[in-house]
Structure 1
Amino acid sequence: MAFTPPAAFTTRPTLQGTFGMSASTHWLATATAQAVLERGGNAFDAAVAGAFVLHVVEPHLNGPGGDLVALFATADDPSPVVLSGQGPAPARATPEHYRAEGLELVPGSGALAAAVPGAVDAWLLLLKDHGTWELADVLAFAIGYAEDGHPALERVCATIRTVAPLFAEHWPTSAARWMPGGRIPEPGELIANPAYARVLRGLIGAGDPAGSREERIEAARVEWATGAVATASAAFVRTPHRHSDGADHAGVIAEDDFAAYRAAYEPAVTLDFRGSTIAKAGAWTQGPALLQTLALLDGFDDDRLDPSTELGAHIVLEAQKLAYADRDAYYGDADVPLDVLLSPGYADGRRALIGETASAEVRPGEVPGVAPFRPPLRTSYTPPSGVASEGIGEPTVSRSGETRGDTCHIDVVDRWGNIVSATPSGGWLQSSPTIPELGFCLGTRLQMTWLEEGGPATLTPGRRPRTTLTPTLVLRDGVPVTAVGSPGGDQQDQWQLLYLLRTIVGGYTPQQAIDAPALHTTSIAESFWPRTWTPAGAVVEDRLGDDVIAGLLARGHRVVRAGDWTLGRLSSVGRDPGTGVLSAAANPRGMQGYAAGR
């Protein structure tokens, strides 16, 4: 039984065609990816080209110093594969060092929060192994925007304005990069990044023209890991600078950390739900929490899973709390008991905890022989006097519902059946001071680790921080039919869950599912500094309706209204294996995401 049919209105159609489809969080990245498809490139060439453009045009949401998680399948092998571009903690990033610096948490901004940058190497690996284009041709789009300029987004300018006092007082290199002459750029003004263009040209120049395409890309990977980027980054962070705790610290990342890292492929984790197979990255991401949520919801009738109803929204929120409690108790770059956490019997026991009223507790499940880690919970945080907190954490949707920005996402499918869903993030312009020679800064993913000992996500040199980056592939009869993902930190899988329920169970089209009213729980330990939580908290779009919102309040949810069009940043592409028809859809919120195709 499907949901009540959705309203006929959508902001735009679900695109359909047979040649190729692209969707992303910025129209220039989408147009870049589509241009590559039009010129004969495949989905991997297109995704990599679009992703490097995202570094340039969405610098407040991602950067070369950040991270990447992707899921893909090739036309020759439909099995979903994970691309891990999440770098590990540096060798000198120990809990003892951070506590000696007077810290209780890994800071939300500043170089002490930097994992080894992984996104660039991951994109290069994907291009080398599955693309067809030369590196110079793929990077030409990003180099053009970095050298010649691109119209600045309103959100880029607003972000710079927000952190302008921090830049002016404490991060002079960031002020020089983003506020030349002390002036904040205006929306639509052309801004360039010639330093990053030089970095990209250096990667191209590292390859031997007489070698093969793959050898040239591999030379670029070596240059990234051992050349100017590693040298400049390691030297720059040795100078103490302001962090989110209000104190000045030096970073610990070093050249040997860059040299030791390479991106890698991993098998996906999957779960069958209502005739579809959902593929996610492993438990070093939050991805399996989506699978756990679906396992819980699979025990309910279809008409109880409609997030647009009071009962459906309540059940969804309660199931997410249980899955995310397990995320915080068991997930990390460690030995995670997913065989238990994703088993039907475990889901049955957890499902029984979903009652008629909102839970205000953190309730991880019991796994035989494994003690759950219980993170310290803070319901509020007051920064020390003088702390410029504007640069902290992931720029996502705050607990008040205020939109501060997001991360990035890109999906591409081509006419041959190659498909990729990728979520690059980190290295935001407000993460830490700009490294002048490079034109970008390092990321802050280590803030997702804990300094408390003994947990699966405890800060550990050489281990990846448990990331919120979590794209999705959906398969039917073993063949990929959908690539979908969203920015949004802890909300990424929560918003993707709504999409999956509405398309798989409810019969919505992709664009209808993206446009439909969104909601998420904040009754979880936030992954970003200062790592607070709101017991029984829920954030909803007003379009959910007064009656539904009143019903949630009556059930004990602490509801924050976020406005009509504020939550969810999804995009998706799809392919019907029977007909070869391709599709794409993108988020209208913020007037930034677009899909294209033919």
Structure 2
Amino acid sequence: MTFTTRPTLQGTFGMVSSTHWLASQSAMGMLERGGNAFDAAVTAGFVLHVVEPHLNGPGGEVPGIVATAADPRPRVLCGQGPAPAGATIAHFRSLGMDLVPGSGPLAATVPGAVDAWLLLLRDHGTLSLREVLTPAIGYANAGHPLIGRAGATVAAVRSLFEQHWPTSADLWLRQGEPPAPGALFANPAYGGTLERLVRAAEAAGSDREAQIEAARQAWREGFVAEAIDRFSRRPFRDSSGEAHAGLITGADLAGYAATWEEPVTLDWNGYSVAKTGPWGQGPVLLQTLSILDALGDATVYDPSTARGIHAGSEALKLAFADREAWYGDTGDVPVKALLSPGYAGERAALIGDRAATALRPGRPNGAEPRLPEFVKRGRHGDRAPDPTTGEPTVSRDGVTRGDTCHVDVVDRWGNMISATPSGGWLQSSPTIPELGFPLGSRLQMFWLEEGLPASLAPGRRPRTTLSPTLVHRAGQPVLACGTPGGDQQDQWQLLFLLRHLAGGRPIQEAIDAPMWHTTSFPSSFHPRETEPGVLVLEDRLDPAVVDELSALGHRVRLSDPWSLGRMCAVSRDPASGVLAAGANPRGMQGYAVGR
């Protein structure tokens, strides 16, 4: 029997897996109250805003994929806010910029997370807004033991807070010091924001849907929008080294609403894997599976061998090259061609016996790819990390830093959801004092160059890295999974799916197994660097495998033994109704619960 850090949980009532134990247990509490998977997920989402503020916040975003007991087909919940009306390439160029800053108000997209969670609650939940928000309000007002990484994140940006972001210093530096690990930390301003949303809801009468719509209006057009509009007019220092005002206005918030969309799916190995559209990076996972399939060699499905790691990393490089050339919120991305067997065969033929270092986008339908000039000039990873920017999941010393959250839920009726909330990190933008949270910085994923799929344009969604996954078999949902990790999200999910679905390993064993990823493509995060040929491996991997990979030309970088990936997963067997769940032990804060 293979050792695992925890058991794979099994039961028949309900399962939750998330990146923080308080969110998991709060969500389970909603299931115990008679709520469904979607009530539970909304509860978890708002609790995560409170307990993992360095990893997500209400000023950020959330994509999700759901399947309901009544309609098991996968549907995408898009809570990715767009660029505000004032966010033009000309504006940033007028400021002398060739990249959108990675932090500060200027980098903010329209907040999408809260409206998306409320849309999910309205359309598929059963409980009232007050019921699902009660745990988050309690933790915000009365406090919760803050995890050590949150305090360490504050410490990393302490001087910025003290010198340039006084509203953040007021919230996060108590008596001038960052929060100590495990210290009780409260955010009554955010608790008050949630309470005002509940009061606005209940003032609309007793109808549940009318209440939720009233709360959405209070967020988009009421006191929240007004506070964001005022605050955005104030200049604050950002990663450019200068102070700039934000671009978001009340009109931007009023004009935004979360949406339901069709997913992109791939039939693979007897399963149907569902991802978001190419406004996110989700189809990268599908392309990689297609390319591996086209190799016609089952040994590439073992991501613990040199053969499997080499093939997997090379397939990922090709898929991410296509992401750079073809993905974006344009409406004309050639998804069908990118996922076709013929195209996968063309891409698979490029995988040789040596590690590739060049960025090699393909030509779907014979079209010529176009890469950003910034990428063609090349910027390699030689800068010191900036703690205010990007999503630096793993630094060069192997220390896991803040990035994103994830939650999966399945209930006894067969409702299932995978959601990846992120953005609005405490270190990404100054705190709006009357609301208790900062804006996000997802605008940094646009390019300041015309004519690209990911070119900045008002109303367009950034090409996000957030990438939940839902898997079906014979038309029924059987697995929800995901992980934080920026550009690594679909890489780590690839390893999990290969081990669990193709290799038959139990959920927890598939999560615990050694992880790896490549950074041999342009990062989605400021300063958009590339590390040609780099392969990052947990050093638990067999040393002989590591040596073989080095001999194949990979620039191997060993990371700490438990440092890569923060996978969550829940599953359901439609035949028996048995539910299962697992959660990542890395970082010592993700937990699965269930019965």
Do they superpose with TM above 0.5?
yes
Asked if structure 1 preserves the Cα contact closer than 8 Å seen for 2:520 and 2:534, the reply is yes
Aligned residues of 1:399 and 1:522 also touching (Cα < 8 A) = no
Structure 2 SS opposite 1:494: helix
- The match for 2:69 among 72, 75, 92 is 75
- Aligned residue for 1:436? 433
Deviations 1:207-245 (A, max 9, x none): 235341000001100110011111111211212111101
Partner of residue 327, structure 2: 331
Unaligned residue ranges in structure 1 (runs of 5+): 1-6
Matched, 1:53 2:50: no
Maintained 8 Å contact 2:205/2:211: no
Match of residue 314, structure 1, among 310, 313, 329:
310
- Once the 2 structures are TM-superposed, how far is the Cα of residue 181 of structure 1 from its aligned partner? 2.3
- In the alignment, structure 1 residue 221 sits paired with structure 2 residue 241: no
Q: Is the 8 A contact 1:84 1:266 kept in 2?
A: yes
Inter-partner Cα distance in structure 1 for 2:518 and 2:73: 32
Q: In the alignment, which of 228, 233, 236 is matched to residue 238 of structure 1?
A: 233
Q: 1:14 aligns to what?
A: 8
Aligned-pair distance for 1:395?
Answer: 4.2
- Cα distance between partner residues in 1 of 2:72 and 2:382: 49
Amino acid in the other structure paired with 1:597: G
2:341 aligns to what?
A: 344
1:130 to 124, 127, 132: 124
Return the match for 2:402 from 401, 405, 430. 405
Worse-superposed segment, 479-488 or 404-413: 404-413
Can you give the 5+ residue segments of structure 2 that lack an aligned partner in the other structure?
none
Partners of 2:133 and 2:76 lie apart in 1 by: 23
1:382 Cα deviation after fit: 7.2
Counterpart AA for 2:25 = A
Structure 2 distance, partners of 1:372, 1:447, is: 22
Q: Deviations over 1:109-162 (max 9, x none)?
A: 011110000000000000001000000010000000000000010101110111
**CA gap 1:553/1:379 in 2 versus in 1, 3 angstroms:** farther
Q: Displacement, 1:185?
A: 1.2
Give the one of 274, 277, 282 matched to 2:272: 277
- Partner in structure 2 of residue 145 of structure 1: 139
Root mean square deviation of aligned Cα: 1.3
Q: Determine the C-alpha separation between the residues in 2 that align with 1:549 and 1:506.
A: 21
2:170 corresponds to which residue? 176
- Is 1:202 matched up with 2:199? no
Q: What code does the residue aligned with 2:178 have?
A: I
What secondary structure does 1:325 align onto?
A: helix
Contact 1:147–1:194, Cα closer than 8 Å, also in 2: yes
Distance in 1 of aligned mates of 2:146 and 2:116: 27
Deviation at 1:90, TM superposition (A): 0.2
Q: Distance in 1 between matches of 2:79 and 2:15?
A: 24
How many residue pairs get aligned? The number is: 589
Q: In the alignment, does 2:477 pair up with 1:454?
A: no
User: Following the alignment from structure 1 to structure 2, what is the Cα–Cα distance between the partners of residues 143 and 488?
Assistant: 27
Q: Spell out, residue by residue over 1:453-504, the C-alpha distance to the aligned partner (whole angstroms, 9 max, x if none).
A: 1100001100000100000001111111000000000000000000110011
Once the two structures are TM-superposed, the CA of residue 402 in structure 1 deviates from its matched residue by: 3.5
Tell me which residue corresponds to 2:282. 287
Residue 480 of structure 2 aligns to a residue in which SS?
strand
Q: Tell me, yes or no, if structure 1 residue 262 matches structure 2 residue 262.
A: no
**Secondary structure at 1:219 match in 2:** helix
Cα deviation code 1:316-335 (max 9, x no counterpart): 00000000000010000011
Which segment is superposed worse, 63-72 or 175-184? 175-184
Structure 2 residue aligned with 1:464: 461
Residues 147-181 of structure 1 show CA distances to partners (whole Å, capped at 9, x for unaligned) of 00000101011101111111111111101110022
Q: Deviations over 1:179-201 (max 9, x none)?
A: 02211111111000101011111
1:147 is paired with a residue whose SS is helix
Moved more, 576-585 or 389-398: 389-398
CA contact (8 A) 1:55 1:63 kept: yes
- Tell me by how many angstroms 1:400 deviates: 5.7
The answer to whether the 8 Å contact 1:400/1:560 transfers is no
Partner of 2:508: 511
Deviation sequence 1:538-572 (CA, Å, 0-9, x none)? 11100112111111111111111001000011000
- What is the deviation of 1:381? 6.5
Distance in 1, Cα, partners of 2:279 & 2:395: 23
Q: What's 1:4 paired with?
A: none
Aligned to 2:379: 379
Q: How much has 1:396 moved relative to structure 2? A: 1.7
- Residue identity matched to 2:594: G
Tell me the residue number matched to 2:472: 475
Give the deviation of 1:370 after TM superposition. 3.8
Match of 1:23, SS state, is strand
Aligned counterpart in structure 1 of residue 360 of structure 2, from 360, 363, 376: 363
After superposition, the Cα gap between the structure-2 partners of 1:539 and 1:382, relative to the gap in structure 1 and judged at 3 Å, is closer
Q: Secondary structure at the match of 1:560?
A: strand
User: C-alpha distance in 2, partners of 1:501/1:471?
Assistant: 16
Given that 1:83 and 1:265 are in contact with CA atoms closer than 8 Å, whether structure 2 keeps it comes out as yes
Q: CA deviation at 1:304?
A: 2.5
Partner of 2:585: 588
TM-score, normalization: structure 2?
0.97
Shift of 1:369: 6.1
**1:84 Cα deviation from its structure 2 partner:** 0.1
| Partners of 1:573 and 1:583 within 8 A in 2 | yes
Deviation of 1:399 (Å): 5.5
Aligned in 2, Cα 1:495/1:428: closer, same or farther, shift over 3 Å? same
Q: Which amino acid aligns with 1:380?
A: H
Question: 1:539 maps to what in 2?
Answer: 536
Alignment match of 1:160 (pick from 154, 157, 160): 154
Letter in structure 2 aligned against 1:577: P
* Distance in 2 (alpha carbons) for counterparts of 1:400 and 1:78: 44
Take 1:430 and 1:284, find their aligned partners in 2: how far apart are those partners?
A: 25
